[in-house]
């Protein structure tokens, strides 16, 4: 055993999480990955690796689900204790489906029957979720994922522990604020998004405290949308990722209304139509959206894909 290996083992914190209900680890935690090249989350065989900046410092977490359904957790770095304690919530331990009735539509009922272990996890990392959501405003996923990958790799911190490939934790709130203009430009992020992230970072600590202290989704929505450049779509996306909000609906999404309309009625609809269709499941509308996505029912593509617009040569 090499000195580096002994050191890594000595600094590792381990735990086992036994869920009260079945959990599909990949579907529950895998959705937090922002593209295959995400430097903060790597899927290596049966292990999900995550690099995070916790309130106690940078941490790397490895999650593996055993055959009996238990989830084995290992973490390294200054924030390892926080990461291990938070891991059950990441895996959906705080997701409460009480009151959810899938029988309102046959597709929802069938998707729920086929995916009973789908849970809504939460990261409890408000600013990371907000920065990701701002980057994904009105651009293609490819463009947003490239910007996230670039900025985190350039300005984040190297992940501790025996990671399967180089991984990085996102910058601190102050680190986001201090990213130079050339960094935003080189990442391909549009200027309105970079200005919104920097503006949010100026109020970052108070913003995070207020969002964590809010009692419910409506309260968190009011906190988030009080910032310039943060609308209802960005707030919903942030609440879904940071808090596992089971009722959040990303109104204003380029595709979502069409997808929900097609899945539930066989025809496209707009945002108002989507909200009306989801109304019978109020309190669990995000859960229904996840189940519809898991069903695999999708509208056939009728036109060309939207291509990235690269403003870096302007």
CATH number at residue 95: 3.30.310
Residue at 229 is within a domain: no
How does the average pLDDT of the chain come out, rounded?
93
Alpha carbon 225 to chain centroid distance?
18
Residue 213, token pair as written in the block: 């202290």
* pLDDT, tens digit, 9 for 90 and up, residues 84-107: 999 999 999 999 999 999 999 999
> Domain range holding 34?
3-99
> What's the full length of the chain, in residues?
314
pLDDT band at 138 (very low <50, low <70, confident <90, very high): confident
Least Cα distance to 51 among 130, 194, 152 occurs for 152
Residue 50 DSSP SS3: strand
Residue 18, token pair as written in the block: 């036994």
Which H or E element spans position 65?
strand 57-65
* pLDDT, tens digit, 9 for 90 and up, residues 171-181: 999 999 999 99
Strand bridging mode 157-158 / 41-44: unpaired
Predicted local confidence at residue 310, as pLDDT: 52
Q: Is the pLDDT of residue 4 over 50?
A: no
Q: Is the pLDDT of residue 26 over 60?
A: yes
* pLDDT, tens digit, 9 for 90 and up, residues 192-247: 999 999 999 999 999 999 999 999 999 999 999 999 999 999 999 999 999 999 99
In total, how many domains does the chain have?
Answer: 1
Residue at 54 is within a domain: yes
pLDDT band at 303 (very low <50, low <70, confident <90, very high): low
Instruction: Answer whether 235's CB lies under 8 Å from 220's CB.
Output: yes
The DSSP result for 171-202, as a single string, is PPHHHHHT--HHHHHHHT--HHHHHHHHHHHH
Residue at 273 is within a domain: no
Predicted local confidence at residue 229, as pLDDT: 94
If phi > 0 it is left, if psi is from -120 to 50 it is alpha, else beta; for residue 140 that is: beta
Q: Is the pLDDT of residue 7 over 80?
A: no
Q: Is the pLDDT of residue 270 over 70?
A: yes
């Amino acid at each position: 055993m090499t000195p580096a290996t002994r050191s890594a083992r000595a600094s590792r914190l381990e735990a086992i999480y036994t869920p009260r209900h079945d959990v599909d680890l990949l579907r529950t935690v895998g959705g937090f990955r922002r593209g295959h090249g995400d430097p903060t989350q790597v899927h290596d065989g049966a292990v999900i690796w995550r690099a995070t900046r916790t309130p106690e410092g940078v941490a790397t977490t490895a999650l593996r689900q055993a055959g009996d359904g238990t989830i084995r957790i290992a973490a390294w770095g200054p924030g390892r204790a926080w990461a291990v304690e938070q891991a059950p919530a990441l895996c959906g331990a705080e997701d409460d489906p009480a009151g959810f009735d899938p029988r309102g539509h046959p597709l929802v009922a069938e998707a729920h029957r086929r995916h009973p272990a789908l849970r809504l996890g939460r990261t409890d990392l408000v600013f990371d979720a907000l920065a990701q959501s701002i980057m994904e405003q009105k651009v293609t996923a490819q463009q947003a994922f490239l910007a996230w990958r670039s900025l985190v790799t350039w300005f984040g911190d190297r992940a501790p522990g025996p990671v399967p490939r180089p991984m990085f934790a996102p910058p601190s709130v102050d680190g986001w604020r201090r990213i130079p203009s050339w960094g935003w430009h080189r990442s391909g992020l549009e200027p309105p998004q970079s200005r919104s992230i920097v503006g949010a970072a100026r109020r970052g600590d108070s913003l995070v405290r207020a969002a964590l202290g809010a009692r419910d989704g409506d309260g968190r929505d009011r906190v988030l949308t009080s910032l310039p450049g943060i609308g209802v779509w960005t707030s919903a996306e942030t609440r879904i990722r940071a808090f596992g909000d089971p009722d959040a609906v990303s109104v204003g999404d380029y595709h979502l209304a069409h997808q929900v309309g097609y899945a539930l009625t066989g025809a496209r609809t707009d945002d108002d139509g989507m909200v009306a269709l989801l109304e019978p499941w109020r309190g669990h509308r995000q859960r229904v959206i996840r189940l519809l996505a898991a069903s695999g029912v999708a509208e056939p593509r009728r036109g060309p894909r939207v291509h990235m617009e690269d403003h870096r040569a302007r």
